[in-house]
């Protein structure tokens, strides 16, 4: 559905009137909503400076389009072609003559670097008056970015793929002076876990270009498929570009299921050249990644001889980290030389990305060859074997006149000379690299991994794990604090967003996951830090959404989702819950219900925290103040029970790295909803048994205990294998009240329970055993799984 920016079509007052329906807790239905004023100019990333002037430039059939240098003809033609589609206006690119009449003219002017206002090669100036538009820069890249700003000053309908007659193609008068903060403004795409065709890759590049991003990191190989033809090793694509089946849902689901569609594909060398050229026209360098020596299952399926042990390696149908690894033998390095030589021929950019991430060392440990290599080369441990491997690959890359780029693990055991680091496990790898005088690109998972959920809405589609809302991506500053203003700062080249595609099988989902988080990466890598502002960015979002809609892109509206939290007040069955509903932007109002129905235009408007009792189901949706559209839904459930806020003592160690307050999770009267966003929503135990003691302030008559364990979605959430309940009058000697039926445990979904004869007691003990063992799809061996627990309900 298209978001139409029609501020007058539905009046705000009428929306508010509709809400006059009175529910008891409907707090302030006449809420004074902060007015929203759409910003006069809405460019993302925000320019360094933009000064509004009076007047506007009107495009028409007589508009002139000139270049002062033949070097600008391509970039001008590209823009004229783009502009023509929706506007129907055919701009003719002409050479500027000294005496051209500047009336209704767009002129592109290449200026000698020495005479230009900025020494940044990507800088530009854009001046719009009612008579003329002038774009000046010292490079064609600068001109391209100036034209991209001009594109964003036009009405969003300019992005339409078909002619639009109802719009005036006007641009407000403005003077913009602009240049990027960082030279590396990147986006990554994994085409191994799921394959995306040439059309989509071009669309992806279009999205980058709209945001003035200049690096496309193309993750071409992984365990689940090899996507680039290598003439010297044809089996890489012949055998390993497809897999026979793919896991359905999450790879860590409790009952793993597969679809048996053949999934895969690869790009021909001509297609790759076409894409590289397409990107270059848009000032984007394509960086290919060939991921070695781990993530090598597809390579070893085609050429098992490059492994350390004999094995029948398949193109993986699951996701995760596998044991297949290339062996550091001379034939392997010859193979890699051949591969990287062919790759280097296709990609004119300065970098080759060699992966280097998540290398399991098991197969090296099993290899007599590696033992001998370690002795010969004096390698102390397997990190040093990895470092040796990467150094050898680094020599190959250097001999091809390229720079080696690798994930931060290539720091382990010693960094290879000249390597540039991509810091994904936090920012430490980037800091360490810069300290050593190496360049780094910041891509920390917490901020810029777009395979994470974007909100806590129940409407979010499956994601790998974790929540990275737009506001969090926007809050990221790629420059580590200690480097700001120092010599080391120049080693931080910029930042990059990643789209890993384990759970991204379609282009629509890919668009959903990157948009608009990609827009935030564009802004934090382009706009000066003191000009970055979440409020300003969020006010520019509607215009950006309108553009995405015109382009037919499926951008997520998760930024409008609600975060629902509650504070428990009091204890036991009388406990009350103060519910707080929040959004990250002022663009929406929040409507909610407490009777289980989906909030609609008649539901109360939230204005401040409100109290509910136990056994309440709160549902909330945000509503667009301008369009009236409803966005994603968030939920919160409270439970009336006797142990809310009772003293709960854990006798088994919980993982407090993921969940800081497991006791609260188990006893706050608030249950996790039927979807897992991140592991810290649960109290997590790694051991074989969990024991919890509950002490009531006064003796209670109890007859049922239940534990939440599993929302049935993903992440190997198994019920306890045994549930034993005991009582005590002194908290020291315990009497068994009995245990749950094993059949019930084996088949239970979400909760396991045990009911017993009513017993009056001050103390309860819950013993939950965790002896589940599952076959690891990664190692093929049995492994234990953590017990993830939620609320212990006592009735």
Chain residues that interact with ligand TNX, rule: CB under 6 A: 357-358, 407, 424, 449, 451, 464, 500, 502
Q: How far is the CB of 775 from ligand TNX (least distance, A)?
A: 21
Return the number of the residue (358 or 613) whose C-beta is nearest ligand TNX: 358
Return the number of the residue (466 or 628) whose C-beta is nearest ligand TNX: 466
**Is residue 641 annotated as a catalytic residue, yes or no?**
no
- SS3 assignment, position 761: strand
CA atoms within 13 A on the CB side of 679: 18
Query: CA 751, CA 745: separation in Å to the nearest integer?
Result: 9
Q: Do residues 431 and 415 touch, judged by C-beta distance below 8 A?
A: no
Q: Could you report how far apart the first and last alpha carbons of the chain are, in Å?
A: 46
Q: How far is the CB of 297 from ligand TNX (least distance, A)?
A: 12
**DSSP letters of 178-209?**
E--S-SEEEEEEE-SSS---HHHHHHHHHHHH
Return the number of the residue (425 or 635) whose C-beta is nearest ligand TNX: 425
Residues 6 or more apart in contact with residue 97 via CB below 8 angstroms: none
Q: Which of 194, 211, 219, 295 is catalytic?
A: 295
Q: Which of 109, 358, 395, 689 is catalytic?
A: 358
**Is residue 401 annotated as a catalytic residue, yes or no?**
no
Return the number of the residue (156 or 429) whose C-beta is nearest ligand TNX: 429
Q: Which of 178, 206, 222, 633 is catalytic?
A: 222
Q: How far is the CB of 614 from ligand TNX (least distance, A)?
A: 38
Return the number of the residue (79 or 500) whose C-beta is nearest ligand TNX: 500
**Is residue 222 annotated as a catalytic residue, yes or no?**
yes
For the CA atoms of the chain, what is the radius of gyration?
Answer: 30
CA atoms within 13 A on the CB side of 354: 34
Residue among 424, 471, 469, 430 at smallest CA distance from 443: 424
Residue 453 DSSP symbol:
B
Q: How far is the CB of 251 from ligand TNX (least distance, A)?
A: 11
Dump strand ranges (E) for 399-464: 403-407, 420-423, 440-442
Return the number of the residue (188 or 212) whose C-beta is nearest ligand TNX: 188
Q: Retrieve residue 59's tokens.
A: 């495009």
In 68-101, which positions are buried (b, 16+ CB within 10 angstroms) versus exposed (e)? beeebeebbbbbbebbeebbeeebebeebeeeee
Q: How far is the CB of 475 from ligand TNX (least distance, A)?
A: 20
Would you say the C-alpha torsion 780, 784, 788, 793 has a positive or negative sign?
positive
Residues 6 or more apart in contact with residue 126 via CB below 8 angstroms: 133, 134, 135, 146, 149, 150, 174, 175, 176, 178
Return the number of the residue (465 or 713) whose C-beta is nearest ligand TNX: 465
Q: Where are the alpha helices (DSSP H) in 565-619?
A: none
- SS3 assignment, position 723: strand
Return the number of the residue (465 or 531) whose C-beta is nearest ligand TNX: 465
Q: How far is the CB of 423 from ligand TNX (least distance, A)?
A: 10
Q: How far is the CB of 510 from ligand TNX (least distance, A)?
A: 14
Q: How far is the CB of 416 from ligand TNX (least distance, A)?
A: 17
Q: How far is the CB of 199 from ligand TNX (least distance, A)?
A: 23
Q: How far is the CB of 223 from ligand TNX (least distance, A)?
A: 8
Q: Do residues 194 and 509 touch, judged by C-beta distance below 8 A?
A: no
Question: Interior CA angle at 634 toward 629 and 635, to 5°?
Answer: 140
Residue among 509, 632, 495 at smallest CA distance from 561: 632
What are the beta bridge partners of residue 775? 782
In 18-33, which positions are buried (b, 16+ CB within 10 angstroms) versus exposed (e)? bbeeeeeebeebebee
Q: How far is the CB of 418 from ligand TNX (least distance, A)?
A: 20
Query: CA 790, CA 795: separation in Å to the nearest integer?
Result: 16
**Whole-number Cα distances in Å, 685 to 240, 627, 721, 774, 785:** 39, 46, 14, 16, 9
Backbone phi, psi, residue 558, to 5°: -60, -25
Query: CA 38, CA 21: separation in Å to the nearest integer?
Result: 30
Q: Where are the alpha helices (DSSP H) in 139-265?
A: 140-153, 198-210, 235-240
In 352-391, which positions are buried (b, 16+ CB within 10 angstroms) versus exposed (e)? bbbbbbebbbebbeebeebeebbeeeebeebbbbbbbbbb
Query: CA 39, CA 201: separation in Å to the nearest integer?
Result: 32
Q: How far is the CB of 254 from ligand TNX (least distance, A)?
A: 20
Residues 6 or more apart in contact with residue 173 via CB below 8 angstroms: 52, 53, 54, 55, 56, 57, 128, 129, 130
Q: How far is the CB of 361 from ligand TNX (least distance, A)?
A: 16
Q: What share of the chain is helix, strand, coil (3-state, %, to 5)?
A: 30, 30, 45
Catalytic residues: 222, 295, 358
């Amino acid at each position: 559905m298209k978001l139409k920016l029609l501020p007058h079509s539905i009046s705000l007052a009428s929306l508010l009137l509709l809400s006059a329906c009175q529910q008891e807790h409907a707090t302030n239905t006449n809420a004074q909503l902060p007015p929203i004023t759409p910003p006069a100019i809405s460019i993302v990333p925000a320019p360094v400076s933009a000064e509004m002037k009076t007047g506007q430039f009107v495009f028409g059939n007589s508009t002139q389009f000139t270049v002062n240098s033949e070097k600008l003809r391509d970039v001008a033609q590209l823009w004229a072609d783009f502009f023509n589609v929706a506007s129907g206006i055919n701009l003719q690119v002409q050479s500027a003559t000294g005496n051209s009449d500047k009336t209704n003219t767009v002129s592109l002017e290449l200026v000698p670097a020495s005479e230009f206002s900025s020494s940044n090669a990507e800088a530009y100036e854009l001046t719009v008056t009612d008579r003329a538009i002038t774009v000046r820069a010292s490079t064609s890249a600068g001109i391209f970015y100036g034209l991209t700003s001009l594109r964003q000053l036009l009405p969003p309908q300019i992005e339409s793929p078909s002619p639009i007659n109802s719009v005036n193609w006007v641009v407000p008068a403005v003077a913009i002076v602009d240049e990027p903060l960082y030279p590396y403004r990147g986006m990554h795409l994994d085409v191994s876990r799921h394959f995306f065709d040439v059309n989509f890759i071009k669309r992806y590049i279009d999205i980058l270009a709209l945001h003035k991003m200049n690096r496309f990191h193309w993750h071409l190989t992984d365990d689940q498929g090899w996507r680039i033809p290598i003439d010297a090793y044809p089996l890489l694509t012949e055998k390993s570009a497809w897999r026979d089946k793919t896991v359905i849902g999450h790879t860590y689901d409790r009952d793993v299921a597969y679809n048996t569609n053949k999934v895969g594909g690869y790009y021909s060398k001509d297609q790759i050249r076409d894409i590289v050229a397409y990107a270059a026209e848009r000032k984007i360098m394509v960086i290919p990644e060939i991921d070695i020596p781990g993530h090598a299952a597809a390579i070893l399926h085609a050429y098992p001889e490059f492994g350390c042990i004999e094995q029948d390696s398949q193109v993986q149908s699951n996701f995760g980290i596998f044991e297949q690894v290339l062996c550091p033998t001379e034939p392997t390095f010859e193979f890699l030389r051949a591969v990287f030589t062919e790759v280097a021929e296709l990609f004119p950019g300065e970098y080759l990305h060699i992966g280097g991430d998540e290398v399991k060392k098991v197969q090296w440990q099993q290899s007599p060859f590696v033992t001998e290599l370690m002795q010969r080369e004096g390698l102390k441990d397997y990190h040093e074997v990895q470092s040796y491997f990467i150094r050898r690959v680094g020599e190959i890359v250097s001999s091809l006149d390229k720079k080696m780029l690798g994930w931060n693990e290539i720091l382990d055991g010693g960094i290879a000379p000249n390597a540039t680091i991509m810091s994904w496990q936090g920012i430490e790898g980037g800091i360490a690299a810069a300290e050593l005088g190496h360049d780094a690109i910041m891509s920390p998972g917490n901020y810029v991994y777009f395979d994470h959920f974007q909100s806590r809405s129940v409407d979010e589609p499956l994601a790998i794990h974790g929540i990275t809302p737009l506001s969090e991506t926007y809050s990221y500053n790629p420059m580590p604090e200690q480097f700001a203003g120092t010599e080391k700062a120049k080693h931080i080249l910029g930042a990059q967003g990643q789209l890993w595609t384990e759970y991204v099988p379609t282009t629509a989902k890919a668009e959903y996951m990157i948009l608009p988080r990609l827009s935030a990466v564009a802004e934090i890598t382009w706009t000066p830090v003191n000009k970055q502002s979440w409020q300003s960015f969020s006010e520019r979002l509607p215009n950006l959404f309108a553009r995405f809609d015109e382009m037919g892109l499926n951008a997520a509206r998760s930024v409008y989702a609600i975060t629902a939290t509650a504070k428990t007040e009091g204890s036991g069955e009388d406990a009350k819950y103060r519910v707080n509903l929040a959004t990250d932007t002022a663009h929406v109002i929040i409507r909610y219900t407490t009777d289980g129905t989906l909030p609609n235009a008649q539901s109360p408007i939230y204005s401040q925290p409100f109290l509910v009792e136990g056994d309440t189901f709160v549902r909330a949706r945000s509503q667009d103040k301008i369009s009236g559209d409803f966005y994603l839904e968030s939920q919160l459930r409270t439970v009336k029970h006797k142990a809310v806020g009772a003293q709960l003592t854990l006798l088994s160690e919980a993982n407090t790295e993921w969940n800081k307050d497991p006791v609260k999770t188990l006893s706050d009267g608030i249950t996790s909803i039927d979807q897992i966003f991140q592991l810290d929503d649960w109290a997590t135990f790694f051991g074989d048994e969990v024991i919890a003691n509950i002490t009531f302030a006064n003796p209670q008559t109890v007859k049922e205990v239940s534990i939440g364990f599993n929302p049935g979605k993903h992440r190997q959430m198994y019920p306890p294998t045994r549930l034993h309940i005991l009582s005590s009058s002194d908290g020291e000697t315990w009497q068994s009240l009995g245990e749950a039926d094993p059949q019930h445990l084996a088949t239970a979904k979400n909760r396991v329970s045990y009911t017993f004869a009513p017993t009056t007691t001050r103390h309860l003990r819950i013993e939950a055993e965790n002896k589940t063992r599952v076959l690891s799809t990664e190692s093929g061996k049995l492994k234990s799984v953590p017990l993830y627990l939620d609320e212990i309900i006592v009735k």
